[in-house]
Amino acid sequence: MKQEDPLHELFAAYRPALGDGDAFMEHLQARMKAAEAVKRYAEERQRLNRHRLVVAFTVGAVLGAAAVVYTLLHPIIPQPTPNLPRMALWLQRMLPAATALAIAAISAAVATLSTLRREEGITS
């Protein structure tokens, strides 16, 4: 209770000066316009950042897939000349890994895009 007494005295002693109402309204409107400009700028930056994120994700997914394909097609360890039965075995061995990689890439893309759409829905 005693801690509230100094606060009460401080607020009781405060007597703000009341100035011209028109000047106050002009100042308030100018500040509201400035706040609106900041809000528009922030929304534009957020939209631009989302666009950059989608572009970066797409480029990364394409380059990552190309790197995986290149790595699978050009291994570091030289292989003997492939013949049809050996190629069929290689494809049979690589198909599950390639399928899992494609499913993971598509899942990541869908998750990223749904998150972007959800955030856009919240801010709109």
Examine residue 5 and state whether it is found in any structural domain, yes or no: no
Examine residue 68 and state whether it is found in any structural domain, yes or no: yes
pLDDT per residue as tens digits for the range 32-49: 999 999 999 999 998 888
Examine residue 6 and state whether it is found in any structural domain, yes or no: no
Examine residue 70 and state whether it is found in any structural domain, yes or no: yes
- What tokens does 81 get? 């000349």
Mean pLDDT across the chain, nearest whole number? 78
Terminal CA-CA length for the chain: 46
Confirm whether pTM is higher than 0.85. Answer: no
Domain containing 98 equals 19-123
DSSP collapsed to 3 states, 18-42:
CCCHHHHHHHHHHHHHHHHHHHHHH
Please tell me the total count of domains within the chain: 1
Examine residue 78 and state whether it is found in any structural domain, yes or no: yes
| Dihedral sign from CA coordinates of 25, 26, 29, 30 | negative
